């Protein structure tokens, strides 16, 4: 008698990971205005501004300065490059970074290499672009912390990656809420100033793209064993 074939779990939803991601997202929303998430908020601002800086360089421009402030904001001054792509790169960069981190979530054996890459990224970006004291201290300090995590190979490091992934993925939506609720001069407003497209349309467009990227990456992560 032929034994029954065991069902594969490759295409099954990982409910445990889904609950974990949902918890992180809800905690981020409810705690966003509290000091508890302050380091993570500065982290996503740094990633956001890094997107602008890298886009400027990759489109043929040069970065004059990148500033990350203790007031959870920042900006990049650049010369040359494609203004439209540079202005859009904050939203897109946060979404792509969050999606990439989601794909790496739950992989303990990759956690050390992931933190090594992040350590190098923060160190290089800080030394090449950042020019204000707070930004330099935060950037190099983060590089050191990530470097230590990569070196120590602590058990459970992948949970930190999960938190960074979800926080980064939500940042474009946070930027949208800033624009809608308080009229902040976000990237959507900057894009409206250099194009005939209204800021609200840009905010919706990049927030939709962010959700699409996060959905695709999150689905892949949740269907993985």
Q: What is the pTM of this model?
A: 0.84
CA 163, 158, 171 angle in degrees (round to 5)?
Answer: 20
Terminal alpha carbon distance of the chain: 30
Domain boundaries, the chain: 15-30+37-107+159-223
pLDDT of residue 186: 73
pLDDT in tens, 116-170: 999 999 999 999 999 999 999 999 999 999 999 988 877 777 788 888 888 877 7
Q: Which of 158, 167, 159 is nearest to 28 (CA)?
A: 167
Q: Which of 175, 182, 150, 137 is nearest to 39 (CA)?
A: 137
pLDDT in tens, 81-131: 898 899 888 878 888 888 888 887 666 677 788 899 999 999 999 999 999
In the beta sheet, which residues pair with residue 68?
A: 74
Q: State the DSSP H helix or E strand holding residue 155, giving kind and residue range, or none if neither.
A: none
């Amino acid at each position: 008698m032929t034994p029954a074939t065991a069902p594969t779990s490759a295409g099954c939803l990982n409910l445990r990971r889904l609950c974990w991601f949902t918890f992180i997202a809800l905690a981020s929303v409810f705690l966003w205005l509290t000091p508890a998430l302050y380091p993570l908020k500065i982290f996503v601002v740094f990633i956001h501004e890094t997107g602008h800086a890298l886009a400027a360089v990759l489109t043929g421009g040069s970065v004059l300065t990148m500033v990350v402030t203790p007031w959870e904001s920042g900006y990049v001054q650049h010369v040359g490059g494609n203004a439209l792509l540079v202005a859009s790169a904050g939203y897109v960069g946060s979404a792509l970074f969050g999606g990439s981190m989601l794909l790496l979530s739950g992989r303990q054996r990759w956690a050390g290499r992931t933190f090594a890459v992040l350590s190098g990224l923060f160190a290089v970006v800080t030394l090449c672009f950042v020019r204000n004291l707070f930004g330099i201290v935060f950037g190099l300090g983060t590089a050191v912390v990530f470097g230590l995590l990569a070196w120590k190979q602590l058990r459970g490091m992948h949970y930190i990656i999960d938190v960074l992934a979800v926080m980064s993925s939500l940042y474009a939506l946070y930027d949208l809420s800033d624009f809608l609720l308080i009229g902040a001069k976000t990237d959507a407003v900057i894009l409206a100033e250099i194009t005939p497209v209204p800021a609200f349309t840009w905010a919706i467009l990049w927030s939709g793209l962010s959700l699409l990227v996060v959905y695709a990456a999150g689905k892949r992560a949740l269907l993985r064993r």
